[in-house]
Amino acid sequence: MERTLKMTSVNSNWDDFHKKDISEKLPFFTRDGRLYDCLFAQQFDRKLLTSLFKTADALRAITQKKEGMDHAGSLLSHTRAMLYFVQPSTRTFLSFLNACHILGVKTSEIRDTSTSSEVKGESPEDTVRTFSSYVDMIIMRHPTPGFVEKTAWLMNLTNRPVPIINGGSGKDQHPTQALLDSYTLYRSFNGDMDNKKIVMVGDLKRGRTVRSLTYLMKNYKNISLAFVSPEQFRMEPDILEFLKRHNIPFTETGDFRSVMGEADAIYMTRIQDEHDHSGESKAVDYSPFYFRSEHLKLIKKTCVIMHPLPRRNEIETSVDADPRAVFWRQERNGMWARAALIAHIFGADQKITR
Ligand code: NCD
């Protein structure tokens, strides 16, 4: 495989590489016109998203029958993947694991650094390089922002690189969550993604899902965003700058009720208190950022209510029965969207057709 970007001294020094503008970095993680590593939501353009959604739709259709499942399961039966998830995960881990199984990818896993040689003092970088000796892809979730990117960068400098997929990197990014979130929007809106108002609610400062999903919004026409959060947890300036650069209108408010009636999608999030330094979340009244059953009559008949999950109290469980509550479908969409992504990385997506 021909690497798109030539190795230069800038590319072989992590600090120099890390500082580069995202547009300069992307070719380094791309090969043969396809994603090689999946690290940032900015890697998804509209064409790629549409193609991944079509693959995901086709995969879920053909696998309804044993014949189709057997075909899907043969596509990547010659490959092995490592799932290295050293931060808590239920859905991302299980949906990736099952996405691998759907495509026949054989899997192994580490979910706790106390069971790997990191306890003996091995660096995380050496640990991940070791995985690459045994498998053909690494899917990872790590608490340190930038670590997944660094791993992919390191791998690309070795003579046995393997694709790296980011399953969540600290407070920073969660690109495959953004992929499944936009797949959920695509299915909810029957493929018509333009001209929508998306309302994102909760801890926007520390939530990586809302950060990554916001990046994807540049792919659609006439999108507007409303960010609803406590003052302490407003969206970070880098994301607001991104929106300004791309002429995507947005508003910020602490008054959820004032924007819910205009929303085509409401994206709820929990408070991310695992990132607290000194219990600052306890000082915040999060209850104005809950979606309650009384709100159902205030939102559009076509508005969808989403949540990356896990939820605490942000959405009353009585809301689940409303057809506009799509978060359980969103969760399952993750498995199909991730399977489509893996198929794309290995060039097997062409073989998934209805
Ligand atoms: C999210 C995460 O891990 O960032 N969960 C997920 O992947 N579905 C959201 C969260 O934990 O709040």
pTM greater than 0.85 (yes/no): yes
Give the mutation target among 85, 87, 90, 92 for probing the ligand 1 site: most ligand atoms within 8 A of CB.
Answer: 92
List the helix and strand counts (H, then E) for the chain: 12, 11
For residue 116, what pLDDT is reported?
A: 79
Residue 8 — pLDDT band, cuts 50, 70, 90?
low
pLDDT digits (tens, 9 = 90+) for 249-306: 999 999 999 999 999 999 999 999 999 999 999 999 999 999 999 999 999 999 999 9
Distance 144 CA to ligand 1 centre (A): 15
Ligand 1 pocket check for 177: Cβ under 6 Å: yes
Q: Residue 254 and residue 267: Cα distance in Å, rounded? A: 15
CB of residue 309 inside a 6 A radius of ligand 1: yes
Q: Is the predicted pLDDT of residue 9 greater than 90, yes or no?
A: no
Place of tokens 């970070």: 236
Which pLDDT score, from 0 to 100, does residue 1 have?
A: 44
Name all domains of the chain by residue range, CATH numbers in brackets: 26-174+333-343 (3.40.50.1370), 176-327 (3.40.50.1370)
Is 334 touching ligand 1 by the criterion CB < 6 Å?
no
CB of 209 within 6 A of ligand 1: the answer is yes
**Cβ 335 vs Cβ 102: under 8 Å:** yes
pLDDT on residue 7: 59
Do the beta carbons of residue 232 and residue 284 sit within 8 Å?
A: yes
Catalytic residue among 31, 141, 211, 295: 141
Burial class from Cβ neighbours inside 10 Å (0-12, 13-18, 19+) for residue 316 reads middle
Q: Determine the average pLDDT of the residues in 58-78.
A: 98
Who's near 76: CB < 8 A, 6+ residues apart?
A: 100, 103, 104, 105, 342, 343, 346, 348
